[in-house]
Each structure stands twice: as C-alpha cells, then as structure tokens.
Amino acid sequence: MARQPTPLLVADLSVFARRLARALAEHAAQDLAPAGHVQLQNLIARAAGFRNLQALKAAAPPALPRLCEPDATVAPDGGHEAPASAVAALSDNARRTLKQFDAQGRLLRWPTKYTVQRMAMWVLWTRFDAKRTYTEAEVNAVLRAANGFGDHVTLRRELINHRLMTRASDCSAYRKLPARPDDEVRALLSAWRARFQARRPSVSGPVQPGVLPGAPPATGSGAPGPRAPRRPGDATPPATR
C-alpha cells in the first residue's frame, strides 16, 4: 500500500519555528539520543498546535497533490530523462502514453486505447504555436515530423476531433485552440518535456511561415537557385561555357 502524504499548513511560520526550537531543546535536555522519525513528526505536530501526529493526520484535508523532488538524470546521449519521481507520479494511462514516444519524442504508433489516444493528442498539441495560423501543408509537415508510423492524416483529424485545433470550412487555415489540460495530462506533458524537449535541435533566427525548425536552409547567394520559367517574348539567355 502506498504511503499517504500528510500535509502541514502553518498559520505563522515565526511562531511555529520558535515552538519547534523550544521542543527540540527540551527533548535534547531529557534524552541524549536524537529524535527519531516518529518522535520528530510528533514534535512538529505539537509545534503546529496539534496534540500529536495522529491529531494532525486526522485534521489534514484529503487528496492533496503529492510533491515531486527534482531528481532528473542525464541520459547517455546528453538529453535529460524524465525525473524518476515525476514518472512515478504519473497515472497508468499517462505512463502508457509516454511509452508510445521514441527517443526523439515522436509518436511511434497509433494507440489502440482511446484514453491513450486522447493523451497523445495533447502532446502533439504542444508542437503548435497558438499565435500562428497554419496552412494544411504546414500542419502536415509538423505532424510528419512528430510521428514514426507515417499517418499524419489521422493525427490531423484527431486533433480536430479532440477540439485541440480548429480549421476553416475549406481546410485553408488551421489554428491551435486554447485548451486547458487536466491534472493527469499536465503531469504527462511535464514528464514528456523533461525527457524529450532538451533533445530537440535548437534553431536560431526567426521561423519563416511554412518552414519547420531543423529544415535545410534556403539556397544562398553562392549557388544559384532554380531558374524561373521563360515567358513568351523573353530573350534567349546566352549559353554557359
């Protein structure tokens, strides 16, 4: 059975600190051994104004969120793994969803379970900019880069079905909707970012419309680009030797 956390709300930190310091001093004067784990919890409970630890637990509000310590580790390839405590705090569905993504953060397969599908759509939702309007080709390009099974059409349709994106009636424009994830999804997104976002290549300079981060640069001045088609009446260009 998992240990239930016991929250402690202190009305006045200064008063609490003085009471706790006095209780520790009295304990040290009576007993040479340091206070054990349960003894210390009882001293803390009394300093907070409770009779003992059991009285504190009885008065604690239920279902408070459990705190996670920042214990992220560095992966062998230099990227950051999700903190172990963060993964442990995930729901079963969130852990299943996290396993659907490869080392580059791409969705490996279309999940069979609807709940996992829904949570995976939230991860893909984070790949879009809320301030931009996308063409269908730009949405397709983002989703192609975000999956490893080659079905960007299903992903695009499901983002619309889950009301995470909206599109014009003629499919000429797509926008990210300002949706609000629940606690379960927020925990998943935090773990996903911790594991994958540090591995994504950084891009300097502004992103041009229709150009994805990491795409090859446009042809520079040192090499000529493709020649525009000749219109009737244009002079024939000289032959190149």
> What percentage of residues in the chain have a pLDDT greater than 70?
66
**Widest distance between CA atoms in the chain:** 107
Q: Where does the pLDDT of residue 110 fall: very low under 50, low under 70, confident under 90, or very high at 90 and above?
A: very high
pLDDT in tens, 18-75: 888 888 888 777 766 777 888 888 888 888 888 887 877 777 554 433 333 334 443 4
- Whole-number pLDDT of residue 212: 43
Q: Using CA atoms, how far apart are residues 17 and 55, in angstroms rounded to an integer?
A: 20
Q: Which residue, 137, 111, 109, 105, is CA-closest to 124?
A: 105
CB atoms within 10 A of CB 178: 7
Query: Which pLDDT band holds residue 96 (cuts at 50, 70, 90)?
Result: very high
Q: What is the structure's pLDDT at 29? A: 78
Give exposure, 202-240, as e/b (b: 16+ Cβ within 10 Å): eeeeeeeeeeeeeeeeeeeeeeeeeeeeeeeeeeeeeee
In a shared domain, residues 92 and 145: yes
Quick check: is 225 in a domain? no
Q: Residue 167 in 3-state DSSP?
A: strand
220 — pLDDT class (breaks 50, 70, 90):
very low
Domain co-membership, 26 together with 115: no
Q: How far is CA 158 from CA 42, 109, 227, in A?
A: 53, 14, 40
94 plus 164 within the same structural domain? yes
CB of 73 closer than 8 Å to CB of 81: yes
> Do residues 201 and 130 make contact, with C-beta atoms less than 8 angstroms apart?
no
Domain co-membership, 108 together with 182: yes
- What is the per-residue pLDDT for 56? 74
208 pLDDT band, cuts 50/70/90, is very low
Q: Which residues contact 23 (CB under 8 A, 6 or more apart)?
A: 43, 46, 47
In a domain, 73, yes or no: no
Range of the domain at 111: 84-199
Mean pLDDT of 104-127: 92
pLDDT at 13: 81
Same domain (yes/no): 108, 167: yes
In a domain, 221, yes or no: no
Provide mean pLDDT across the span 218-222. Answer: 42
Residue 219 lies in a domain: no
Mean pLDDT of the chain: 74
**Domains in the chain, number:** 2
The per-residue pLDDT for 239 is: 53
